[in-house]
Amino acid sequence: MREVRVPGRSLPNGARFGVGLSGILRPGRRRIRNLLGPSEAELRANLAGEASADAALAIQEAEAAEAAAALEAEASLEPTEPEAAPGVEVPDVPGLPAEPAVPRDLTAAAFFDVDNTMVQGASIIHFARGLAARKYLRTSDLVDFAWKQVKFRITGKENSEDVAEGREKALSFVAGRSTAELARLGEEIYDEVIADKIWAGTRALAQMHLDAGQQVWLVTATPVELAQVIAKRLGLTGALGTVAESEDGVFTGRLVGDILHGLGKAHAVRTLAVREGLNLKRCTAYSDSYNDVPMLSLVGTAVAVNPDADLREVAKHRGWAVRDFRTGRKAAKVGIPTALLLGAVGGAVGAILSRRREHALLTELAADRGASRVQPMKTLRRCASSR
């Protein structure tokens, strides 16, 4: 994927810019007007959202231009067909795009969070694993980053120091590297790690919107270059993600605005809707996290997918649909540590239950054959196989 330059943007002006979203962070709480205007965090979130929408549309435009150029080049190599006589139907030319089977719905779209909604676990951790395997990261860095994700999933709250430290580490990694290199690594690591971690149920929901002729976008804090790889592999329209500044195809080590999350995601969706002429009342948003309530509240239909406890409560209060594709009902706080514990403990518990069931079956078989006590295991297994 060739480099796409995102034009630089200044901080948005206007005393009330972006303040309207702050009231939906805590449903039911009374909103207090900020007479001094938006906070610095709100300004950075707004800037991140606009930059994300700019980058997403720029990438989409660049890929469309590349596809058109490739088709034109391919067509120029083929022999020219003579024009058909009037009234004679001209057959389709191989290589040219066919008419879409489904009419496009120009004003509706679907927006999907990525981590634990579309992808099992945190996509950035999967990417970090791939980088560590390639010696781009030290194992200690991977463990430290994963631990911060664990804390976030347990508490459901972001620690400002952890967020700042994680942001600086990520930026120090990409600084001086080419955007093409990050995209290439993203494609390799997706195929190796992430492809098998797509929730089939969520993927089916995305396909449902595609089949209806609607745009389908990922919305994530993951870098936009990596998010675009996931969207492209899944056949989606595109991705809204965190934008890192680049010059001449090389990352500078600075973000445009901030990490795309919370209010930033909501602003990215709103900005994209304006640019694409979408009617947000006809749009749908999907997420697992309470932190995405601002984005979910923007659209006409909100769906909680594999929700955390807080989002489940909000969904119940607001009448939002809930889709849970996890195997079994887990504890109220479901996250990375819970999954790890269930993975480790579940195997032992499963083995114990399996042995108990086997013992019960073999005891029953022994009773059927008139045995007064449980026969040796090998003999009873033969009984079971012959039954």
Q: Which residues are catalytic?
A: 113, 115
Torsion region of 321: left, alpha or beta (phi above 0 gives left; psi -120 to 50 gives alpha) = beta
CA 91 to chain centre: 41
Tokens describing residue 77? 């190599």
Closest by alpha carbon to 123, among 274, 270, 228? 228
Instruction: Tell me the C-alpha to C-alpha distance, in Å, between residue 117 and each of 63, 89, 164, 183, 368.
Output: 26, 47, 24, 22, 50
Residues 6+ positions from 319 with CB-CB distance below 8 Å: none
Classify residue 107 by its DSSP letter.
Answer: T
Classify residue 278 by its DSSP letter.
Answer: -
> What is the C-alpha end-to-end distance of the chain, expressed in Å?
61
- Strand, helix or coil at 105? coil
Listed in sequence order, the DSSP H helices in the chain are 40-77, 123-133, 139-155, 160-174, 179-189, 200-211, 224-234, 263-276, 293-298, 309-318, 336-368, 377-386
Give me the phi and psi of 259, to 5 degrees please.
Answer: -60, 140
Tokens describing residue 168? 């600086």
Report the half-sphere exposure of 198 (CA within 13 A, side-chain side): 17
Closest by alpha carbon to 307, among 110, 191, 156, 192? 156
Give me the phi and psi of 247, to 5 degrees please.
Answer: -135, 125
